[in-house]
């Protein structure tokens, strides 16, 4: 990949080497381009990078590419704290996901409480305790992030 360089700064979006060569149809370029091959034309070699893993309430945004010692421009990232609105949205989504999982576990165990359930009454009681513990998950002090799920009865 290549990127346009203006006043020592990478600008715009990276382009493929074939697109670069089409920009200069009267120039014969080597098969494997180097920084020395493209810099006279105002371009630099460019490499994408994977965005770092953000913590719960931070995000990463792409910032200006930086050039390494070999002359390659690399995509770089800045860690940014989320706004109050973004934090609230993240918490709300986590709440939704945990409740969805909890509701699924309750639904999967509904059969244990039916009148025609094949379980003995003592086993029904064990399942009833499990189901109540599932209903109590949102009341846990760490909800919705730090959940202690009840153990599935055997």
Q: Is residue 69 located within the same domain as residue 90?
A: no
Q: Is residue 63 located within the same domain as residue 28?
A: yes
pLDDT digits (tens, 9 = 90+) for 111-141: 999 999 999 999 999 999 999 999 999 999 9
Q: Is residue 109 located within the same domain as residue 47?
A: no
Q: Is residue 41 located within the same domain as residue 20?
A: yes
Number of domains in the chain: 2
pLDDT the model gives residue 154: 85
Q: Whole-prediction pTM value?
A: 0.68
Q: Is residue 69 located within the same domain as residue 129?
A: no
Q: Is residue 15 located within the same domain as residue 63?
A: yes
pLDDT digits (tens, 9 = 90+) for 33-70: 999 999 999 999 999 999 899 999 999 999 999 999 98
| Ordered strands of the 2-6 beta sheet | 9-15, 2-6, 43-47, 73-81, 58-67
150 assigned to some structural domain: no
Structural domain range at position 9 = 2-81
Q: Is residue 43 located within the same domain as residue 97?
A: no
122 assigned to some structural domain: yes
Q: Is residue 30 located within the same domain as residue 45?
A: yes
Q: Is residue 29 located within the same domain as residue 94?
A: no
16 assigned to some structural domain: yes
Q: Is residue 77 located within the same domain as residue 24?
A: yes
């Amino acid at each position: 990949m290549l990127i346009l360089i203006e006043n020592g700064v990478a600008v715009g979006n990276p382009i493929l080497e074939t697109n670069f060569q089409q920009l200069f149809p009267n120039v014969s370029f080597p098969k494997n381009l180097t920084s020395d091959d493209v810099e006279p034309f105002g371009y630099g070699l460019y490499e994408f990078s994977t965005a770092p893993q953000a913590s719960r309430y931070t995000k990463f945004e792409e910032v200006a590419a930086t050039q390494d010692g070999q002359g390659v421009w690399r995509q770089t990232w800045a860690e940014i704290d989320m706004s109050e609105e973004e934090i609230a949205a993240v918490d709300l989504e986590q709440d939704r996901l945990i409740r969805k999982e909890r509701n699924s576990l309750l639904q999967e165990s509904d059969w244990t409480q039916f009148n025609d359930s094949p379980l003995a009454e003592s086993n029904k009681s064990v399942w009833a305790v499990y189901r109540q513990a599932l209903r109590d998950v949102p009341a846990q002090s760490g909800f919705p992030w730090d959940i202690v799920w009840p153990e599935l009865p055997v």
